[in-house]
Amino acid sequence: MCMKPKIFVFLITIVILFQGCNSYQYIYDSDSQERQRELQKNRSGNVAGEIFSFLGAVILEASTGVYVDYVPEEQEFKRFNLMNPTKDTMYVNMLSDLSWDNENYCDFMDIRIPPNDNCRILLPLFANYNIYFGISDNPEEDQLLEINTSYKRKITLIPEIETDSTKVAIKNIESQNSDN
């Protein structure tokens, strides 16, 4: 009888931990926030189904002695970590070739990552994304990074745009190197 409350607490803890892993507060586009919530619900449903299927197989085996071969389904989504190592807010738009429903692609727009912070986002596996990012909200200055979500889990976004402070730092380093 003591085992049931422990299992229940364990399952609740897992659900709470999984729910708190995405960074919705950095997504400012309402459609993108809603799409992220839909992906999370879909993933949570898959995880819960997998847990109950596994527990059912274990209980059936324990009660009948018949081995039930449980094979988990393939993963459909992946947590992705966008990292901003700069001292400026990073503006990010992620455009995909994958359609989410009949009307929309699985794009994520208007992501603003604070300085020296990261944004965890849930993405579909095997999707190609064009990530446009920069330290200004001017799309003309954005840089492009192409990824496939099946190969990467973490991307550090480092813009190649030089600000006045980085130019001064580069000149100081160059002058120190030329002195040696």
Q: Where are the domains of the chain?
A: 3-156
Distance CA 137, CA 34 (A): 22
Instruction: Reply yes or no on whether the pLDDT at 46 is more than 50.
Output: yes
Question: What is the model's pLDDT at position 173?
Answer: 37
Q: List C-alpha distances in Å: 167 to 114, 173, 177.
A: 22, 10, 15
- Entry pTM: 0.63
Contact partners, residue 117, CB within 8 Å, separation at least 6: 84
Contact partners, residue 127, CB within 8 Å, separation at least 6: 96, 97, 98, 106, 148, 149
Q: Give the residue-averaged pLDDT of 82-99.
A: 89
Instruction: Reply yes or no on whether the pLDDT at 70 is more than 60.
Output: no
Residue 151 in 3-state DSSP?
A: coil
Distance CA 55, CA 126 (A): 29
> Minimum mean pLDDT among 2-11, 35-44, 80-89, 166-175: which range?
166-175
Query: What CATH number belongs to 3-156?
Result: 2.60.40
Distance CA 180, CA 58 (A): 69
Instruction: Decide if 89 contacts 110 (C-beta within 8 A).
Output: no
Question: What is the model's pLDDT at position 180?
Answer: 39
> Minimum mean pLDDT among 3-17, 111-125, 164-178: which range?
164-178
Among candidates 92, 132, 123, which has minimal Cα distance to 110? 92
Q: Give the residue-averaged pLDDT of 45-63.
A: 67
Distance CA 50, CA 64 (A): 21
136/8: higher pLDDT: 136
178/146: higher pLDDT: 146
Question: What is the model's pLDDT at position 52?
Answer: 65
Q: List C-alpha distances in Å: 123 to 54, 61, 80, 151.
A: 25, 35, 7, 12
